A and B are shown apart, each in its own frame.
Chain A
Amino acid sequence: MTLPSVADSVEPAGATVGSGPPEEATRRGAGADVFRAVAHNRKALVGLGLLLFFGVLAVFPGQIAPDDPRAKIYPRGLGPSVHHLFGTTAYGEDVFSQLVFGTRQSVLIALAVGGLATVIAVIVGVSAGYLGGKTDGVLSLITDVILVIPIFPLIIVIAAYERNSGFFTLVIVLGALGWSYGARQLRSQTLSLRRRDFLEAAVVRGERKRYVIVHEILPTMTSLILASFLGAALYAVLFAAGLQFIGLGDPNSQSWGTMLYWAENNEALGAGMAYWAIMPGVCVALLGAAFALLNYAFDEISSPALRLRKLERAGVDAERATAVLAVSPDPKNILEVRGLSVAYASEHGPVVAVDDVSFDLRRGEFLGIVGESACGKSTLVYAIARLLGAPLAGEITDGQVLFKGRDMVTLSDKQLRHIRWRDYSVVMQSAMNALNPVLTVAAQMRDACEAHSTMNKRQIEERSREVLRLVSIDPVHLHSYPHQLSGGMRQRAMIAMALLFTPELIIMDEPTSALDVVGQRSLMVQIKELQEQLGFAVVFVTHDMSLVRHFSDRLLVMYAAQVAELGRTAQLFRKPLHPYTDGLLEAFPSIHGPKEHLLGIPGSPPDLLRPPAGCRFAPRCPHVFARCTAERPRLLEVDGELVRCFLHDQPVVPVVEAKEGVA
């Protein structure tokens, strides 16, 4: 369910609550990847093309230009013609030749200033970020001061002092003032890297500081350094032309800015020599555009999220639901999921993260959904809650979600707003991400109440206190901010918010996984007690089977986007039918009984872009036989449970729908 090219740690669920994967996405090492990305990026191609064009002009002006740019040998002020593409100047020089010869200085200034500014930015930014403390204080202060100085007036003052400033003065002045923005970015990037363990690993290994900075930090920031260079180059082209235009450059130099200066002095526009005045400006704009386009392009290449297109439906190969979807829902069920499939767009094509999943949920039932990371469990419940959306846009490609008899898949956003929170609510994995850090608990509850009900202020306050008491939080914490609560309390507050309207269904996505065992246990007990007291149904997603052992009525085990097994919890623990379930149970060491050597499950889950041809668990299965790799197993009913495994494919009629009752 994750984009395979991106790091596989990130579940889209996390992204939905705000802890997105862009940082992970910047990881790419292979040069071939970058090359391919550039070749497919229109901005990069146009930018590189422009740069190449000006590069050729800058290197071979003599071969390209028809004339000596300073030869005042033609009639003055000619219009454009075959002989003089852009006419002549007021002094009888060929405008086109001047443009060609002027390219070199602009390109050189861009490269030199870009290089100088980037070197300073890297040294200042990375040292400030990595060394921290006083060094950071001083360097940041300097950076900020330079950042807020109105640069253009300052440069005018400096350049005016150094009258007729030539190439080197320009480069040094522009370079010395143009690094601050890049330094700021590099500093904050370094700061965020400082918390990455690989830097600490290098220190523990015994590396020197210098090595850590040069060999561990810098290589991870190449795209940012490149961006800093391109930004400074762009700024240099514009500023140099501007300075020369107002006459602060060397009037005898050959550059676009100087051309503008002379054109302006001769009122070229009014005197019928429009091209003399316009073309240098066009060239400045084009060269600037080249740098800007490249900058955009590298931004896109280093964060794939920016360029993923919408899912192409045609390419999705979800196994079609064979069930008759016209069967009317059973009123005893609060939720019926039928043949639900969800796919994500990825760089390498659609990834089916949930593949034809069906189950029923009785009113007041507790269903556990268990599986490893990237098995599709979070995507499944987010699809049910209709919370799939940007940034990792997953899309429901097939199936129905009947909540109280209505198909959620077809509801509009407006219709959803009516039932979300009132009839069903969602508790996210990380309360720290789901709660707004700048609002008190009371304010967040008020927002929810105002959006979803017509309660007045007093009623809201009363209800808020009531739900906090339900989850054993003292109502004095109503006016606390999330960071003032402990981890366990935040998670409880989230559950309290989910209870505001006494919904009939609460979907919980690993609500306890951020907690310690003791807190985890007490939260589970609390959830169960609330459920018994208030009667809501629960869909509980977890990677830890043992956690829901004593709390869930039924368990749905997911493997590689599919249902592997669905059955009553007690029976499933007693007699797991699927070898994967069996393996999961065997993967937990126990604190009681004899100490046994465990093996876990060898291998790792398959890549959902290329799932194995037969059974998806076959490559890791200890009981695999010929049929497993040749055929796709269907869900079979065995002792009233459902299992997707050929081991149980005795002469029994295969079924597809989960229709059995609750224990």
Chain B
Amino acid sequence: MSEPLLRTEGLTQHFRVGKLFSRQRLHAVDDVSFEIGRGEIVALVGESGSGKSTIARLLARVYKATAGDIYFEGKRVSTLRTRRQRLGYAGDVAMVFQDPYSSINPAYRITHPIERGIVLHRRDVARRRRENEVEKTLGTVGLVPAGRVAGKFPHELSGGQRQRVGFAAALAGKPKLIVADEPVSMLDVSIRIGVLNLMSELREREGLSFLYITHDVASARYVADRVLVLYAGHLVEEGPAEDVLQRPKHPYTQLLLSAVPDPRAALGISDAADVGEPPKVIDPKEGCRFRDRCPFAIAECETVTPQLREIGPRRRVACHVAEPDV
């Protein structure tokens, strides 16, 4: 297979926690390996605290990984040294943030981050053509008439519009991959779909790849080609979206799916008896991190950390118990 757009190998991020001389470490992300293909939308699904935002920030180089590597177009990202190399990566991998109310600087017009993206990453765009380019970008994300929107300050826009500005800012540097960290979770229900559709359109039109980070499984199914399920810093399941969500293999994925409120489905109150919560992973021992909530746990789960294993075409699960489809 040819080299994917982005690939991580054993990506790991630990944070020091506790008091001054504490040696305790929070394992936010542990040994995570995945790929994102060109023009692919990959959903990273998990609850809060599962490490999904940490992965976003690792990809965006806000954090330096404790261990493991990111390869972008085959190049190891940790070897990027010069300002030019780093800027190049920043141009290729952009990010959309969760909170549209805090991700745009209130002191500037909304065109500011878009303009900066162009200034930093598209030096071929002459100064006098910049304004033009900014308006074109606004049009791409459906903010029209661009000329009028361009003069506004963030507080003059609604949440949905601001999130579109967030996408426009990400697009400004002509990236190849956009890491979207819960881009719709703070938006009103009626406008979420619009933003999800925007991601699909951008993929179709511009050939962009997305890492769509979310806790909302239904939206992941709606927009993504492939799904990665994260639990307590471990990747526990991955595969084509439809496959994972219709035939979940990992007991956690099954629990997650059973909890999704689905107005069209009948209610089974009894299936939601689980009151457990994801563990805080501080200095963990070996073993499956889901074992205390898992109805199928066996002795091995206490002692051996399950590794991702192939159970079907492009389908992997990290569980001692899960069986492939027969």
Q: Which residues does A use to contact B, with CB under 8 Å?
A: 5-9, 24, 26-30, 195-198, 200-207, 216, 219-220, 222, 372-373, 472, 486-488, 516-522, 524-526, 528, 543-547, 549-550, 573, 583-585, 587-593, 595, 597-602, 604-605
Contact = CB atoms under 8 A, between A and B. Distances in A.
Contact of A201 (B169, B196, B216): B169
A430 to B, nearest CB: 14
A219 B256 contact: no
Given A220-B106, A518-B255, A591-B221, A472 B193 contact: no
A550 B267 contact: yes
Given A197-B103, A573-B263, A587-B190, A518 B90 contact: no
24 contacts: A6-B155, A24-B101, A27-B106, A29-B106, A196-B103, A198-B113, A201-B104, A204-B94, A487-B48, A487-B277, A517-B47, A544-B261, A547-B261, A549-B263, A549-B267, A587-B189, A588-B189, A588-B218, A590-B262, A591-B262, A592-B265, A599-B197, A604-B160, A605-B158
Contacts of B161: 604
B47 A516 contact: yes
A587 B275 contact: no
B180 interface: no
Contacts of B94: 204-205
Given A222-B107, A591-B221, A28 B262 contact: no
| Max chain A Cβ within 10 angstroms of own Cβ: one of B99, B102, B120, B196 | B102
Nearest to A600: B193
B173 A205 contact: yes
A600 B191 contact: yes
Contacts of B48: 487, 516
Q: Which are the 8 A-B pairs with shortest beta-carbon distances? A: A600-B193, A206-B90, A589-B222, A27-B106, A550-B267, A219-B107, A197-B103, A601-B190
B87 A206 contact: yes
B61 interface: yes
Contacts, number: 205
B47 A27 contact: no
B219 interface: yes
The prevalent SS among residues of A at the interface is loop
Given A24-B101, A216-B105, A591-B221, A203 B189 contact: no
B138 to A, nearest CB: 17
Contacts of A472: 275
Nearest to B107: A219
B217 interface: yes
Nearest to B101: A9
B116 A205 contact: yes
B95 A204 contact: yes
A598 B189 contact: no
Given A29-B106, A201-B169, A373-B188, A591 B217 contact: yes
Contacts of B209: none
A72 B65 CA distance: 79
Contacts of B104: 198, 201
A524 B221 CA distance: 24
A642 B308 CA distance: 53
B9 interface: no
A591 B60 CA distance: 30
Given A198-B102, A200-B57, 10 more contacts: A7-B101, A27-B106, A197-B102, A205-B120, A206-B87, A220-B107, A372-B189, A487-B48, A588-B218, A591-B217
